[in-house]
């Protein structure tokens, strides 16, 4: 029901226009998005670092179908890497391949990724390849395999536990000992490709997580689900898995109390920090994940 309501909001011109016009200026979009400029994003990460957290910086944008625009997006990521180095912030970057031309051709996205990874290697900054909707899963994993051959574990993929195929994908990646971010998945998917029930998504998440913690090179435990976090902590303690093998990861603005608690208890915590003018699609996906997010925005909409 929550996702259906979010889809209704996304298709309602009055609401999306309001969110686009007022989301940043009145502040409610800033709960989930660090701002529209790189300077705003860097300042947000400075504050996170002061609180004992690291970050993954994401320049928002996707589904670019013009080669020149894809090249510009790649160029902006080079500027981001320079800014991370200048500011001496503890931060890596997250990149969507459709922002770099995947919808045009895989070779274009790979060319742009190689420019980004070459500079990232100079700065010793890790690059995460974000996972998008299921129609991109195979191409994204193929891109990762090609780039891993050239850049090793300076690059890593995201896996989504709501897809049926993910367990087989993980098995195929294990020989690489990859650095993997495991999340549940935030895109609308048909029941033919994804578990429709949350309980099955959660069960698959735990199964995949245990395998990653035992066999992967490094695991990003990307969830705000306290039951899964408790299970992960018990499993890590029982198997005596070292802190150098994993970190918890959460989204900017969501469960800040839980983020702070994990840091106080001595765990590594990385916050995914999005910014940029193309923030609306990301923002709408966040609304579909938790009722509290949705009601927070609806209150602001009807105030306006």
Residues 304, 193 within the same domain: no
Q: State residue 64's pLDDT score.
A: 95
Expressed as residue numbers, the domain containing 302 is 1-33+283-304
- 227 falls within a domain: yes
Residues 85, 164 within the same domain: yes
- 248 falls within a domain: yes
Residues 29, 120 within the same domain: no
- 95 falls within a domain: no
In degrees, to the nearest 5, what angle opens at C-alpha 133 toward C-alphas 127 and 134?
Answer: 110
Residues 228, 80 within the same domain: yes
**Residue in 207, 96, 107 with CA at minimum distance from that of residue 158:** 96
- 143 falls within a domain: yes
Q: State residue 31's pLDDT score.
A: 80
Residues 302, 249 within the same domain: no
| Catalytic residue ranges | 130, 181
- 82 falls within a domain: yes
Residues 237, 291 within the same domain: no
Q: State residue 293's pLDDT score.
A: 53
Residues 229, 293 within the same domain: no
Residues 267, 124 within the same domain: yes
Residues 226, 294 within the same domain: no
Residues 206, 266 within the same domain: yes
Over its length of 304 residues, how does the chain's per-residue pLDDT go in tens digits? 555 555 455 444 455 555 555 555 445 677 889 988 999 999 999 999 999 999 999 999 889 999 999 999 999 999 999 999 999 999 999 999 999 999 999 999 999 999 999 999 999 999 999 999 999 999 999 999 999 999 999 999 999 999 999 999 999 999 999 999 999 998 889 999 999 999 999 999 999 999 999 999 999 999 999 999 999 999 999 999 999 999 999 999 889 999 999 999 999 999 999 998 777 777 776 666 655 555 555 555 444 4
Residues 14, 78 within the same domain: no
Q: State residue 17's pLDDT score.
A: 57
Query: Are 290 and 254 within 8 A, CB to CB?
Result: yes
Looking at the structure of the chain, the number of domains it has is: 2
Q: State residue 25's pLDDT score.
A: 46
Q: State residue 1's pLDDT score.
A: 52
């Amino acid at each position: 029901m929550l996702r259906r309501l979010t889809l209704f909001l996304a298709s309602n011109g009055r609401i999306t226009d309001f969110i686009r016009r007022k989301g940043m200026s009145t502040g409610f979009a800033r709960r989930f998005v660090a701002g529209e400029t790189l300077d705003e994003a860097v300042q947000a990460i400075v504050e996170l670092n002061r609180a004992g957290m690291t970050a993954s910086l994401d320049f928002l944008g996707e589904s670019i179908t013009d080669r020149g625009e894809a090249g510009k997006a790649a160029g902006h990521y080079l500027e981001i890497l320079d800014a991370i180095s200048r500011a001496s912030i503890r931060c890596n970057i997250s990149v969507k391949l459709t922002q770099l031309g995947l919808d045009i051709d895989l070779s274009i996205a790979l060319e742009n990724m190689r420019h980004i990874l070459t500079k990232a290697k100079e700065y010793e900054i890790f690059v995460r390849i974000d996972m998008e909707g299921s129609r991109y899963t195979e191409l994204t994993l193929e891109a990762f395999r090609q780039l891993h051959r050239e850049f090793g574990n300076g690059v890593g993929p995201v896996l989504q536990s709501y897809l049926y195929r993910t367990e087989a994908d993980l098995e195929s990646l294990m020989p690489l000992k990859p650095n993997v971010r495991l999340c549940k998945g935030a895109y609308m998917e048909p029941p033919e490709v994804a578990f429709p029930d949350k309980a099955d998504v959660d069960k698959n998440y735990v199964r995949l997580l245990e395998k990653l913690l035992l066999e992967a090179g490094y695991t990003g435990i990307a969830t705000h689900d306290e039951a899964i976090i408790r299970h992960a902590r018990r499993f890590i303690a029982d198997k005596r898995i070292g802190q150098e093998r994993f970190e918890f990861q959460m989204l900017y603005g969501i469960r800040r109390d839980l983020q702070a608690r994990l840091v106080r208890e001595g765990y590594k915590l990385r916050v995914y920090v999005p910014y940029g003018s193309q923030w609306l699609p990301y923002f709408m996906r966040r609304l579909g994940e938790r009722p509290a997010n949705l009601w927070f925005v609806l209150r602001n909409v009807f105030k306006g």
